[in-house]
């Protein structure tokens, strides 16, 4: 089945630093990738939609200058949390959607747990 790899799986860093998270589709080409955030005991919330070769579309309330998204190839999207602060600590999850039929499901990575001290 479709495999999406996310790296790193866990990161701790100091307040004020920037953190980059990678999302790769390993066995299919992903024209669209999605980034979600999940706080403890809550459901996933979509942050942004990333289409290969174009600017990401951010959901209302998500700061585009804070969460930089790059989708430079059909197999890789990156999320950079800039100048991270403790309130950015969360579980960040990416998903990828392949080419072909429009009803193709999204496949998710295993998430990145980000802790800002």
Partner 1 sequence: DAKTTQPPSMDCAEGRAANLPCNHSTISGNEYVYWYRQIHSQGPQYIIHGLKNNETNEMASLIITEDRKSSTLILPHATLRDTAVYYCIVSRSAGGTSYGKLTFGQGTILTVHP
Site residues (vs partner 1, CB under 8 A): 2, 4, 6, 32, 34, 36, 43-46, 49, 57, 91, 93, 95, 97, 102-103, 105-111, 113
Q: Comparing C-alpha atoms, which of 68, 69, 85 is closest to residue 77?
A: 69
Q: Which is nearer to partner 1, 24 or 107 (CB)?
A: 107
**Least distance to partner 1, CB of residue 16, Å:** 27
Q: Which is nearer to partner 1, 15 or 26 (CB)?
A: 26
Q: Which is nearer to partner 1, 17 or 64 (CB)?
A: 64
């Amino acid at each position: 089945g479709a495999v999406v790899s996310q790296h790193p799986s866990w990161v701790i860093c100091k307040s004020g630093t920037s953190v980059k998270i990678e999302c790769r589709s390993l066995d299919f080409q992903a024209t669209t990738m999605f980034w979600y955030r999940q706080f403890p005991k809550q459901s996933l919330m979509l942050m942004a939609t990333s289409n290969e070769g174009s600017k990401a579309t951010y959901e209302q309330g998500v700061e585009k200058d804070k969460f930089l998204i790059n989708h430079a190839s059909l197999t890789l999207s990156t999320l950079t949390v800039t100048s991270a602060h403790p309130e950015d600590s969360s579980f960040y999850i990416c998903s990828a959607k392949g080419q072909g039929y429009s009803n193709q499901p999204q496949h998710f990575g295993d998430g990145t747990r980000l802790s800002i001290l």
